[in-house]
Amino acid sequence: MSFPAAAIEWERLREERDAGGDPALSKRQTREAERSARAAAKQEQQERGYTVRILCEDYLVGHVDRARKPKGAIEVRRMFDTMLSPLDEASASTLTRRQCFDLLESLQHIPVQAAKLRAELGAAWDYALDAGRIPDSTPNWWRQIMRGRRPARRARSLRCRGVKDAARSGARSVAIDGGAGRS
């Protein structure tokens, strides 16, 4: 606070005291009102239950905003805001494997984004489990569903050259020939 601003504030407090007010009491009452409002909000949250939306918001505030650059944090927030609408009000501790699978299955038209969402939700569930916000017995379905279901896509350059996938051809290794046969 600058010196002129401090002088103005001191004058205001002195006038309040001269008028019969107690600046310390008013400050204390304001703090108590804020504290009771926070307690009421926490109680309301417990009555509603710990939803998927609240879990994701806790993860965003507690981890993503602190650990990532702003661009990455904004992207995760956007992803949660746009893709989680079917599960927003579902209870995080009673979410079923089927609900998780259905959400990811509905996003298969954008497979890369679905994979990123799955990874972020897995991390969010781990964060909530570590923080004790959901019971330890709650499974992290996001880490288990659709794991390894899609085969890795071959690079177009390799497909165009006729290189076969070693796993499908039964060969142990694939040699890439740089051009015509050499003698």
Taking only the tens place, the pLDDT of each residue in 120-143 is 999 999 999 999 888 888 899 998
Residue 72 is predicted with a pLDDT of 94
Global pTM reads: 0.57
d(CA 107, CA 138) in angstroms, rounded, equals: 24
DSSP designation for 85:
G
Q: At residue 20, what is the residue type?
A: G
Positions in the chain whose pLDDT score sits under 50: 151-152, 154, 183
Residue 157 is predicted with a pLDDT of 58
Residue 151 is predicted with a pLDDT of 43
Contact yes or no for 52/84 (Cβ under 8 A) = yes
Residue 134 is predicted with a pLDDT of 87
Residue 47 is predicted with a pLDDT of 57
Residue 169 is predicted with a pLDDT of 56
d(CA 60, CA 53) in angstroms, rounded, equals: 10
**Which residue from 68, 107, 67, 63 is spatially nearest to 84, judged by alpha carbons?**
107
Contact yes or no for 92/138 (Cβ under 8 A) = yes
